[in-house]
Amino acid sequence: MSRIMLNFATLRYLLFRDALYCKRKIVMPDIVTYTDQEIVKAILNRDTVITKEFLYGKCYPLFKSVFDKYYTDCGNCFEFINEIYVYIMYPHKDTHVSKLAGFGFRCTLTMWLKIVSENYCHQLYTRKIETTDSNEIGGDRKLPDDNSLVSETRNLDMHDLNKILISMPNERYRKLIEYRYVDEKTNEETAALLGLTMANYYNTHKRAKEQFCNILRKEGLI
């Protein structure tokens, strides 16, 4: 699982990094000439050139309108596109089929992406409210320091650990916990894998720890 997540995070980081310079350094294909079927196939095949041109180019205004209108925990629109990319590409835990692979072409790809992005934001906001309410009910508890949490995670049975990770409602928080406390990467390495600046990383890290520790306490594991 960690290797799969690493592949997604690495590709997402490269997409984010290159998207900032793609217009200056790369002669991009004319995405207008591609059909939706060709674009979906290219993205599923990890074609970074087509993926960047479509998601960060053609669809940028679409994502920006959603980013400006709805709640996200992203620092900018590029981070939001990164999250949507992982959201549509990550295989479902039961069917092992990603959302993009299951796209049935009953509407245009851009319309589908708009609907998926808005639904993602609604889910994110709902989970934020639920987590906030849970924290208020449970009281404000001090979080363990990073070294203590690494030790606690090492001591967990793998079955229990996987159960906890799957229970985390926020996918980005789950990946952060996996990199930082399961794979034991540094904060800087974790931020790079997630495509976050260090300023944004520390806020996301705190929220991820809170969510992880709340579930550990609920299960009686800490």
Specify the pLDDT at position 6: 45
Specify the pLDDT at position 138: 47
CB 117 within 8 A of CB 65: no
Per-residue pLDDT of the chain (222 residues; tens, 9 = 90+): 444 444 555 555 555 555 544 444 445 568 889 999 999 999 999 999 999 999 999 999 999 999 888 878 787 899 899 999 999 999 888 888 999 999 999 999 999 999 999 999 888 877 766 655 555 444 445 677 878 888 888 888 888 888 888 888 788 889 999 999 999 999 999 999 998 888 778 888 888 888 888 888 887 776
Give the CA angle between residues 144, 146, 147 to the nearest 5°. 100
Q: Which two tokens stand for residue 35?
A: 């059909």
Specify the pLDDT at position 124: 81
Q: How far does CA 108 lie from the centroid of its chain?
A: 24
With CA atoms as reference, report the closest residue to 116 among 98, 128, 132, 94: 98
Enumerate the H helices of the chain as residue ranges: 2-19, 22-25, 36-44, 48-51, 60-69, 77-89, 109-138, 146-154, 158-167, 171-177, 187-194, 198-218
The CATH 1.10.10.10 domain(s) of the chain lie at: 141-218
CATH 3.40.50.280 matches 141-218: no
